[in-house]
Structure 1
Amino acid sequence: MLAHLASPIRVACLDEVRSVIRLSGAGLVHFLQGLVTNDVLGLETPGAQPLYTCILNAQGRHLHDLFLHRTLDEVPTVLVDADRQGAADLLRLLKRYRLRQRLDIDDASEQYSVWARYGGHTPTLHDTHSTTPPPAVPGWAPDPRLQDLGLRALLPAGVDGGGKGVAAASWRDHRQWRILQGVAEGDTEIPSGEVVPLEFNIDGLHGISFTKGCYVGQELMARTHFKGVVRKRLMPFVLAPDKGGSTLDALQPEQLPQLGGSAVPAAALAATAAAAGDADVGGAAAGGAGGVQQGATVYLAPQGGKRKSVGTVRVIDGRLGLAVLRLSAVQAASAADQLLVVGEGEATAYLRPWRPNWWPNGWGREEAAGAAA
């Protein structure tokens, strides 16, 4: 059920899916500036606000997305909140790029826990926090990606991140909240070494700077950004129980109910609640309702001809999910009231994506603008 989404404030420990790596040394910020996609010069200041960013390979493909938390230590020290599945690879990568720089790099997952708070009215979350982290530990701060994602923190292991007026949630509950906002996270949801980060909206999630100096993989990012056309992007969707109703009737935010400040189609909530009894909520790669799997191809429903591939399912959780979809096809399907489908025959599932209301107005309209020019 989606009762956890209606609660005023929820808190979840994410240690099952997140790890913490500690970086320290006089040249740390310079090291990170040449490695990650965001501008990290602000991390020179002890206690600076956390940043969201990612690391690319030389070809501009996404490797890892990260949260960088600056401690209050005088010697520059950053705690990296990273995906647990890819933590060992990330640790090896950081040590390889360190070369002869005098930096300390170690796994600090046993010393710190990753926590998230979401729901309710975000500014009040600070008031409900009942623990005071030690001076050298970053405390609660707004999630640097979106306001509606709430707060994020690294707390000493064993410290309860709960507080007065909040309810406990699981990392799976938190993931459903992210899906409703249209946000992927981690090396499973954002396949390492395979995808372009712009297709996962990392540019709109404050994870990429287009004004900083050189970093690994920058050329593809800059070329794609200044060309001005991203043809595919990650979108949230709901698996409909049948093909009835409008395919993409949720694309107009003003027609949708609000959940935590973000537009969410009523169909998504109703269908997910209805599916709770027959669709187990598993890991990121677990199957969803109707047997839909991560990596499944999304098609335009055939109109008497061959099916046309328009995207790929990247996250599936019951009837909710995220898919990278060709935006021109989504718009065409919406205009023609045409269905998107996954699977075939008796295993066919009907997919209804929607456009998150935090998206910039220009996303999905770049090709049309270019043609008009």
Structure 2
Amino acid sequence: MLKLSQLKDISQLPDLVLCPLDSWDLISVAGEDRITFLQGQLTCDLTNLKPGQQTLAAQCNPQGKVWSIFRVIVLKDRVLLTQPKSVTAKQLPELQKYAAFSKVEIKKETEYQIFGLAGCKSAAYIAKNADASAIHDQSRLLEGDKGVIIKQPYPSLRYLMIIKNEQAKELIEDIKDQASIYDDSLWNAMNIASGVAFIEQETSGLFIPQMLNLQALDGISFTKGCYIGQETIARAKYRGANKRALFILTGRATKAPKAGQNVQVLLNDNWKRVGTIISGCQYGDGHIEVLAVLPKDSNAGDVYQIQEIEGSALYYAPLPYEIEEE
């Protein structure tokens, strides 16, 4: 299986790439109360989502700090939450402890698997082998409840595929001679370039959702009513209490950046700590990209470094979306 370190930059992406997302978990929430239960736990509004539809969302503690960010996918008989494996041990018990008085079953999903499909030929592959309508819809439930295909944001043409075990086995057998198989370090790099953050264990419980730009990605409902952490999140919006946001930084380093490492800015010939890395990646030529929480008033001309990586140098890169003002 190929790694991101074997790819010089994203422009060299092969025409068809399959990424088994082995470093990701699927969390299943089933039972007749699953929608009302999650409505009181997550930042998104699930009440209008139909089977096959999806949204980003966060699960927060009572202080409004994010345990995890998910892509929330509604199926006919359950709701699936995608997240990095490293955070599950911390996040899952926090969700399960609120379930005692609801008719829900919360566990790691075992019937479905998760893949990323990317490259200029990915749409043609899906149209031929799965469902031609899926390449046009934001998300699409496959016939026979075999899974769901979700079109992903910039960069490149790419799809998140959540499919049942039998179909996953068939997919791997069919595509192995047609596609380049990369581990999920490539998928992580694409998420960084798209400005979409997912929380690892090292950064769980540290930031409110607006610091991770979730309001700009339709991951927060400010009208649905109460949920865990809602008071802090609403205060950040209506009182302008949030002074930090998620930024993309790009540059060079001798090692791959890691979640939880410190970002410093050069001020008056001295380095000052100003932020935290949420996720990072390194291409084969030493080029790095990170998502970092920094002050909202950070200057686009500033020079940064990662405190834990000597000689690293990073610069501001524009997000592919606008950050809404609080």
TM-score by length of 1: 0.70
Q: 1:215 is matched by which residue type in structure 2?
A: Y
Structure-2 change in CA distance of 1:52 and 1:17 (3 Å): same
Contact persistence 2:83–2:199 (CA under 8 A): yes
How big is the shift at 1:134? 6.3
Question: What corresponds to 2:266 in structure 1?
Answer: 301
Question: What corresponds to 1:310 in structure 2?
Answer: 274
How big is the shift at 1:228? 4.3
Contact persistence 2:39–2:46 (CA under 8 A): yes
Question: What corresponds to 1:321 in structure 2?
Answer: 290
Structure-2 change in CA distance of 1:105 and 1:296 (3 Å): closer
Structure-2 change in CA distance of 1:128 and 1:171 (3 Å): farther
Question: What corresponds to 1:182 in structure 2?
Answer: 195
- Could you tell me which runs of 5 or more consecutive residues in structure 1 were left unpaired when the two chains were aligned: 242-278, 280-286, 367-373
Contact persistence 1:42–1:48 (CA under 8 A): no
Tell me the C-alpha RMSD between the 2 structures. 3.0
Question: What corresponds to 1:221 in structure 2?
Answer: 233
Q: Distance in 1 between matches of 2:242 and 2:121?
A: 33
Contact persistence 1:71–1:78 (CA under 8 A): yes
Which structure is higher in RCO with an 8 Å CA cutoff and minimum separation 6? 2
Q: Distance in 2 between matches of 1:70 and 1:214?
A: 21
How big is the shift at 1:121? 8.1
Question: What corresponds to 2:14 in structure 1?
Answer: 7
Question: What corresponds to 2:313 in structure 1?
Answer: 350
Of 79-88 and 206-215, more deviation after overlay is shown by 79-88
Q: Distance in 2 between matches of 1:351 and 1:3?
A: 16
Q: Distance in 1 between matches of 2:23 and 2:29?
A: 20
TM-score by length of 2: 0.79
Q: Distance in 1 between matches of 2:91 and 2:198?
A: 15
Q: Counterparts in 2 of 1:111-260, with a 5 A limit? A: 111-120=111-120, 126-130=126-130, 135-143=144-152, 146=153, 148=155, 150-157=158-165, 159-160=168-169, 161=171, 166-188=179-201, 191-228=203-240, 230-240=242-252
How big is the shift at 1:340? 2.4
How big is the shift at 1:148? 4.4
Deviations 1:165-217 (A, max 9, x none): 6543220111111222222213347x111111211111122211111111000
- Could you tell me which runs of 5 or more consecutive residues in structure 2 were left unpaired when the two chains were aligned: 1-6, 132-140, 283-287
Deviations 1:198-245 (A, max 9, x none): 11111122211111111000011111112346432222222247xxxx
The structure with the largest alpha-carbon Rg is 1
Q: Distance in 2 between matches of 1:343 and 1:104?
A: 43
How big is the shift at 1:128? 4.5
Question: What corresponds to 2:101 in structure 1?
Answer: 100
Correspondent of 1:62 among 41, 45, 66: 66
Q: Distance in 1 between matches of 2:228 and 2:91?
A: 15
Correspondent of 2:34 among 25, 28, 40: 28
The DSSP-based 3-state class of the residue aligned with 2:216 is coil
Q: Distance in 2 between matches of 1:308 and 1:157?
A: 49
Q: 1:347 is matched by which residue type in structure 2?
A: E
Contact persistence 2:69–2:197 (CA under 8 A): no
Deviations 1:308-348 (A, max 9, x none): 333223323222222222232324xx2xxx5223349x923
Higher strand share: 2
Contact persistence 2:15–2:120 (CA under 8 A): yes
Paired positions, count: 299
Deviations 1:72-110 (A, max 9, x none): 34xxx222323322324433233211122222223223x
Q: Distance in 2 between matches of 1:358 and 1:37?
A: 20
The DSSP-based 3-state class of the residue aligned with 2:298 is helix
The DSSP-based 3-state class of the residue aligned with 2:73 is strand
Contact persistence 2:265–2:305 (CA under 8 A): yes
Deviations 1:264-321 (A, max 9, x none): xxxxxxxxxxxxxxx5xxxxxxx42xxx6543433332435x4333322332322222
Identity of aligned residues (%): 21
Structure-2 change in CA distance of 1:237 and 1:22 (3 Å): same
Question: What corresponds to 2:87 in structure 1?
Answer: 86
Structure-2 change in CA distance of 1:94 and 1:340 (3 Å): closer
How big is the shift at 1:9? 4.0
Deviations 1:129-157 (A, max 9, x none): 448956234321224xx354732221122
Q: 2:210 is matched by which residue type in structure 1?
A: L
Contact persistence 2:58–2:219 (CA under 8 A): yes
Structure-2 change in CA distance of 1:94 and 1:232 (3 Å): closer
